[in-house]
Structure 1
Amino acid sequence: MRILHTSDWHLGQHFMGKTRQAEHLAFIDWLVGQIRQQGVDVVLLAGDVFDTGAPPSYARELFNRCVVAVHETGAQLVVLGGNHDSVATLGEGRALLSYLNTHVIPGVDEDMRQQVLPLLGRDGRIGAILCAIPFIRPRDVLQSQAGQSAEDKLQSLQDAIRHHYDAVFQLACERRDATDGTLPIVASGHLLTVGASASEAVREIYVGTLDAFPTQAFPPADYIALGHIHRPQKVGGQDCIRYCGSPIPLGFDEAGQEKQVLLVDLDHGGLKAVTPLPVPCFQAMASVRGTLAQLATEIAAAAAAGRAERPLWLEVTVRTDDYLADLQLRVQALCEGLPVELLRLRRERGTAAAALQGRAGETLDELSPDEVFARRLESEEVDAGVGERLRERYRSVVAALREERA
């Protein structure tokens, strides 16, 4: 049996005012091609199908298009809810999608037998048993008790999640034993595990309650397909416990990462191989930093490495100890004539703090209104478009006040 493991699509994401619709559409088309080319039996989407609990209509259309396209390949599709997904939204078409060989597990089911799924090969025979475990919300498995300390709550939640995995795994073993007794067992999950390397786009899912789930607490499944972390990685160095990562970069710190989906081959002897399939880059992104003198070269180099058909999305971090009221204009001038879009401009925190310290003796009497506004805006981390709109609004207000005084 061959499973394609993917996760964290975040359909409907808006990134600093930019839609990801074209990227997601290109990814789905590529994915369907890989399903056909690689002879995939099952596609396992391990959570965060959508970016929000109320995704825009075009994101739902993309998902529906994907369901139909995967069905036409002859592969089975299993969709698990993540922490970004609404249980109600993801589950609303569950019964209908089952007719398209698609199984949706939006949240923890009261009847845990509903989370044990047979995975079917293209020949219609069962090739593996899946412990279909989505993102587990604390209220799904735990009742709060009065008088518990934070440490007690953490331990109680870890124990409850471990118990849920063990119970579903036991049901899967019973299902396996009721067949030929040699089928491999696959488990899923959408959570942070000990030792996983996250990114700035990853939202902590058990803030203040559960830092990370211990790797040794997973049941002894032949393969554990995880979602939530956007960097592809093995967990604890084990081939059988994997994050496949997101298929597109969801933050500038993910720019330059090789995104991938995983081909997982199993037979009656267990896990045979895990093969990464690199996902093409559908929208180039880059993060550059340096002094203004260095940035001219850095921005030009980043633009040259981008995709010619689409402007490069750019984050710029400026190292400077000087206060520059026109920093935005200077950086935009460096981008002129290049196939780039400046989405975020930042000052390096260390140099910004040093500059503020150097100006500590200044008073408002020494500064013009324009300088006060510029320095206040500089202290905020806003993207380029928002910053420019705030400057336009400021200039408009100042002009109106001057007209009143004239």
Structure 2
Amino acid sequence: MRIIHTSDWHLGQFFINKSRSQEHQKFISWLLDQVLEHDVDAVIIAGDIFDTGSPPSYARELYNQFVIGMNTLGRQLIILAGNHDSVSTLNESKNILAQLNTQVIAAASEDLASQVLTLKDKQGEVGAIVCAIPYLRPRDIMQSRSGESGQQKQQALGQAIGQHYQEVFELAEKQRDELSNSFPTKSVPIIATGHLTAMGVTTSDSVRDIYIGSLEAFPAKDFPAADYIALGHIHRPQRVAKTEHIRYCGSPIPLSFDELGSASSKSDSSKTDSSKAGKQVLLVDFKDGKLNTVEPLFVPLFQPMQVIKGNLASIEQQLAALSDIDPDGLPIWLSIEVDTQDYLNDLQQRIQALTADMHVEILQLRRARKQQQQRIEREDKELLAELTPEDVFERRLATEQFETDEEKERLIRLKTTFTSIVNELETELNDED
């Protein structure tokens, strides 16, 4: 039995006002090719198929396109909801997609048996049993109790999640035992899924933390003894608790610049050095009912992206190294972080002048974080009593970047709101006097 584990597609995402539709289109075509090339029996998408609960029409079209592609290949597809996905959006086409060899689990169910699915191999025989567990919303697995402290709510939720996993797993074990009684020589693995934050993982800027009640992370020891656990939500591929069988596959395309890692800025579907691409799906192989191998399949970087850091001279050199960009290809999306001791009020104009004749688009321009930290450290030496509320507010604003028109408008709103609050408080104090 061989599956591909993927997650966090975020169809419909806009990346700093840039559509990812072409990247997702290329990824879907690439993934279908991998299913065929590696003779895969099924694909599991462990949550966040969409970026929002109301995805745009082209995102739904891509979703349906992949479902049809998998059905055409005669392979199974299991889709689990993530915290970004709308239960009603996924459920609206669930019954139709079931006729296309696709099973959708949008939420935890009172009928736990409905979350125990079977995967069949190419011979039509049961090849694996799946504990299909999506993103677990508190209202689906526990009842709120009045008077509980934050710690008690956290403990109750952690226990409810662990209990849900265990109960679904026990049903899967029962089904496996029944299968073994009918076919004594047949041994099948149990695969569990999940969309949550496990303890000890590394996140990225694009991950919106899931805080269910006050639960921040789920202990790896509380997962059931499944042969493989396919997780979603964390965008960086990684093992959980140094195990081989509990895995995050990560998102298939970079959803923030800090996810690039060692990705090549010039990669495309034909030229990508896959060993540097960073993004991946996992090819999971089972043999004799047990986990055999987990192999990363590196996803090409369909949209050239690059992070450039340093002082102005270093940035100019790094930009010069991009001079051989194919003018007929896609422009490189750039994040530039400038490290300089001086405050340059014309920084944006300087960078624009350096890139004026280049086939690039600057999506992010900011000053180095260490400059901001140094400024904070200097200000920490001042006594709070020496500062007015306006001073404190201005110092805090100085740690942020307001480069784009949208960010500058936000800055104006923040200052207006702050001034209004201060004036109201001063009026109240004067009235009391």
TM over 0.5, shorter chain: yes
Q: CA deviation at 1:345?
A: 0.9
Does the CA contact (< 8 Å) of 1:264 and 1:275 recur in 2? Answer: yes
3-state DSSP of counterpart to 1:192? coil
Verify: 1:348 aligned to 2:368, yes or no: yes
Does the CA contact (< 8 Å) of 1:41 and 1:121 recur in 2? Answer: yes
Instruction: Give the fraction of aligned pairs with identical amino acids, expressed as a percent.
Output: 51
> CA distance change for structure 1 residues 46 and 353 in 2, over 3 Å: closer, same or farther?
closer
Aligned pair count reads 377
What CA deviation, in whole Å up to 9, does each residue of 1:358-391 have, x standing for no partner?
Answer: 9xxxxxxxxxxxxxxxx99976534656469999
Match of 2:321 among 301, 325, 334: 301
Where does residue 365 of structure 1 map in the other structure?
none
Q: CA deviation at 1:348?
A: 2.1
Letter in 1 for 2:71: H
Match of 1:328 among 345, 348, 356: 348
Does the CA contact (< 8 Å) of 2:190 and 2:228 recur in 1? Answer: yes
Query: d(CA) in 2 for partners of 1:345 and 1:115?
Result: 46
Q: CA deviation at 1:294?
A: 1.7
Equivalent positions of 1:88-167 (< 5 A) are 88-167=88-167
What CA deviation, in whole Å up to 9, does each residue of 1:281-319 have, x standing for no partner?
Answer: 101211222122221012333665899711111111112
Verify: 1:232 aligned to 2:252, yes or no: no
Letter in 2 for 1:235: V
Does the CA contact (< 8 Å) of 2:198 and 2:217 recur in 1? Answer: yes
Letter in 1 for 2:79: V
Where does residue 79 of structure 1 map in the other structure?
79
Using the TM superposition, name which of 335-344 and 164-173 deviates more: 335-344
Q: CA deviation at 1:352?
A: 4.5
Letter in 1 for 2:254: P
Verify: 1:222 aligned to 2:242, yes or no: no
Equivalent positions of 1:39-58 (< 5 A) are 39-58=39-58
Letter in 2 for 1:342: I
Equivalent positions of 1:170-209 (< 5 A) are 170-180=170-180, 182-206=187-211, 209=214
Q: CA deviation at 1:236?
A: 1.2
3-state DSSP of counterpart to 2:321? helix
3-state DSSP of counterpart to 1:31? helix
> CA distance change for structure 1 residues 314 and 269 in 2, over 3 Å: closer, same or farther?
same
Match of 2:335 among 308, 315, 318: 315
Does the CA contact (< 8 Å) of 1:343 and 1:385 recur in 2? Answer: no
Letter in 1 for 2:151: E
Letter in 2 for 1:292: L
Q: CA deviation at 1:174?
A: 1.0
Match of 1:264 among 284, 292, 295: 284
Query: d(CA) in 1 for partners of 2:89 and 2:210?
Result: 19
> CA distance change for structure 1 residues 318 and 283 in 2, over 3 Å: closer, same or farther?
same
> CA distance change for structure 1 residues 308 and 196 in 2, over 3 Å: closer, same or farther?
farther
Q: CA deviation at 1:351?
A: 2.3
Letter in 2 for 1:192: T
Q: CA deviation at 1:206?
A: 1.6
3-state DSSP of counterpart to 1:179? helix
> CA distance change for structure 1 residues 224 and 390 in 2, over 3 Å: closer, same or farther?
closer
What CA deviation, in whole Å up to 9, does each residue of 1:259-295 have, x standing for no partner?
Answer: 1111111133311111111111101211222122221
Letter in 2 for 1:201: S
Does the CA contact (< 8 Å) of 2:44 and 2:77 recur in 1? Answer: yes
Query: d(CA) in 1 for partners of 2:403 and 2:99?
Result: 45
Query: d(CA) in 1 for partners of 2:228 and 2:87?
Result: 25
Q: CA deviation at 1:98?
A: 0.4
3-state DSSP of counterpart to 2:166? helix
Using the TM superposition, name which of 3-12 and 301-310 deviates more: 301-310
Query: d(CA) in 1 for partners of 2:399 and 2:278?
Result: 33
Does the CA contact (< 8 Å) of 1:12 and 1:59 recur in 2? Answer: yes
Match of 1:252 among 257, 262, 266: 257
Using the TM superposition, name which of 331-340 and 49-58 deviates more: 331-340
Query: d(CA) in 2 for partners of 1:105 and 1:308?
Result: 43
Where does residue 211 of structure 1 map in the other structure?
216
> CA distance change for structure 1 residues 135 and 213 in 2, over 3 Å: closer, same or farther?
same
Does the CA contact (< 8 Å) of 1:342 and 1:384 recur in 2? Answer: no
Where does residue 357 of structure 2 map in the other structure?
337
3-state DSSP of counterpart to 2:130? strand
